[in-house]
Amino acid sequence: MAAISFEVEHQDQETSARTGRLQTPHGEIQTPIFMPVGTAGTVKGMKPRDLLEVGSQIILGNTYHLFLRPGHELVRQMGGLHKFMSWDKPILTDSGGFQVFSQAELRKITEEGVEFRSYLDGSKMWMGPEESMEVQEALGADIIMAFDECVALPATRDKIQDAMDRTTRWLKRCIKAHSREDQALFGIIQGGIELDLRRAHLEELAELGLPGYAIGGLSVGEAPEDMYRVVHDLAPRMPAEKPRYLMGVGRPEDLVECVAGGVDMFDCVMPTRNARNAQLFTTYGPLKIRNARYKDDPEPVDPECDCHTCTHFSRAYLRHLFVSKELLGSMLATHHNLAFYLRLMRQMRSAIEEGRFSTWRKDFYTSFRRGV
């Protein structure tokens, strides 16, 4: 029996947007969905019950960080990542590739894998496809990602082609090393912003018959318009009966545009990282809570939001917490931002189901671009 199953429920008639149900060993996920990022086995500032309260259906764990600390063997010994962090819903782990390749000056790439230095103590470490599979199998996530080579853009066509070809070879090694039947291995499509390379890579990977596919190598320095162009061309060509995952994206408007392009799954650190930096997302656009104009503002962060932060605290109080460097400020801001993102996904699912996605999309932009 396959680790996951996916069924498309509604297909929008005017765009490539769709809703679906993704069954995993730890429960069902309604798509399109946003996955909060729990880098080191925790979504910063959020307890598991808080994640449930804001509507999280699945979270993401980071293989690279968990490999370095506390170590995958310890997590395995503690019963796997679900038990270790007390989260009984689905988890997806990335392969560690993106983080390794982000350390341009600290790594050395060979056909076998990548040598890199630990950001903790500078010690030499090694990761290749087999090691990534070993770590992810020890962590025990429901969905695991193939080890890929991610190229920062802009890059030459030759460099993009080389990374794409190596990603395919590494994927085949991941498939060979992957042994847990209760984990679904997704392949990652590379190719930069070159549509012909993206299509060719998709064709190669689709032949391998994996349970799901991701678009990697975007949101790495290209213009949003280039990202949308790639997604709108590529996602509808991806196997219709498999979940489509866009990695590391993004801003609220990116989610809307890429759902319109046919994407089912997203993850990004933006809602949590921006919250810690005092930027909150609202129906009427981003709000920088440290701004002096909020010093005596009795309004909630977003009058349209029913999250715990917005129903209990004022902008003035949140500003006070950030100015005073109180830990609670980041926690309340994170709670709100994740609630905003997950409500945005629910709104899109409802709009697609009811055949009004295009109208909803226009209304979203009218509000979001208005400004707070």
Of the candidates 208, 216, 212, 169, which has an alpha carbon nearest to the alpha carbon of residue 189?
Answer: 216
Pull the structure tokens for residue 279. Answer: 């930027």
Rounded (5°) CA angle 106-112-114: 15
Q: Which two tokens stand for residue 59?
A: 């979270």
Which amino acids are annotated catalytic?
94, 267
* C-alpha to C-alpha distance for 24 and 237, rounded to whole angstroms: 24
| Peptide bond between residue 271 and the one before it cis (omega within 30 degrees of 0) | no
**AA identity, residue 177:** A
Helices (H), the chain: 48-53, 63-68, 72-77, 81-84, 97-102, 129-139, 157-177, 195-206, 224-234, 252-260, 270-276, 308-312, 315-323, 327-353, 357-368
- The token pair at 326 is 């109180």
Using alpha carbons only, what angle is made at residue 12 by residues 239 and 261, rounded to the nearest 5 degrees?
55
Number of neighbours of residue 39 by Cβ within 10 angstroms: 17
User: What pairing do the DSSP bridges indicate for beta strands 212-215 and 244-246?
Assistant: parallel
* Sheet of 114-117, strand order: 107-109, 114-117, 124-127
* Residues 32, 266 contacting (CB under 8 angstroms): yes
